[in-house]
Structures are given as C-alpha cells and as structure tokens.
Amino acid sequence: FRGQRKFFQAFRAEMMQPCPAWDFFAEWMRRVAHTGDNCFQAINHKYMNGNEVGCPALFHFSQGELGMPWDMEVTRKDDIVMFTWNDERDCPHARGSDRLMVGLLYDEHRDRPVLIDPHASRANGAASIVLDSRYGSRAHVYLFFERADKRACSDDQHFAV
C-alpha cells in the first residue's frame, strides 16, 4: 500500500494538479449516484442513442470495486465464444469464488441487453457461451465478476466478437 501511495503522490503532482479529473469525478459521483438508476444513467447516457446503445465499446454493464483479471482473453469459433484468464489472487478485491457474468448486446439489436451466467468462478479460469445466430453475426460481450453473495461487482471489460 505504501508503494501505491507513493505512486499516487507522483501521479497527483504530474496529472491532478494541472488536471484534477479524479477529484471532479469523486465530486460528481457524490452528486449524481444516489440510486443504481441514477448511477447507470450518469455513466451511460452519453453512449445511448435513444432507446439503444449507440457506442457499445464505451457502454458499461457493470461498475464496481472488484478487480478484473489482467489477462482476460476472448476467442470465437462459429457461435461459441470462449473466455480465458489467469487470476490466482485471493484478496478483498479478487476472490476465487467470484462469479463471471457476461453482458451481451447483439450489434443488430442494441436495445435488448442480455445477462448470462456461464456458471464459472474466477478460480475456474475459463468459460464459454453460445451466441444465437438468429440475432445477427456480430455481438458485444461485457465480462465482469460478481461476489457469490451478489454484494459487489467489478467494472466490465468489453470485447467485440
């Protein structure tokens, strides 16, 4: 933790004094994020086009305190999408029992979000889902982890497949 504080001090001197973005974000979150709906709208409204996602690469299914694996990989073969990662951390922000969740948007149906539980934990290191080709050939997957008791999530990571 001491090393992180030292890094932040250098970051603050270099970045935050001329551009205090993180201070503004903290103030903004206290002001707009009173409910889950408020937070979702505050984060995602600029990526929406009416009732559909306009910019899938920047849209978020999840934001949270848990960590994502650093080496998440996604591959696709026909309609099967495979996810692999290595994450042996056992700390408050990354437990082996955290469950992988998959947000899904088909490119041709950006107004129909889908949440999939592939029944894989962080400790498994792999999971897969099957896409439904009736909804198009291109999709956007948003991978994130959720605590087993559903009391915390990670930020999502977007992949176009």
Please give the pLDDT value at position 6: 82
DSSP codes, the chain: -HHHHHHHHHHIIIIITT--HHHHHHHHHHHH-SSHHHHHHHHHGGGEETTEES-TTT--S---SBPPPTT-EEEEETTEEEEE------BTTB-TTPEEEEEEEETTEEEEEEEE----BTTT-EEEEE--GGG-S-EEEEEEEE-TTSS-BBPPEEEE-
Please give the pLDDT value at position 61: 93
The whole-model pTM stands at: 0.85
Please give the pLDDT value at position 45: 92
pLDDT means over runs of 10, the chain (161 residues): 78 72 76 78 91 95 93 97 95 95 95 95 97 95 95 95 96
Please give the pLDDT value at position 33: 67
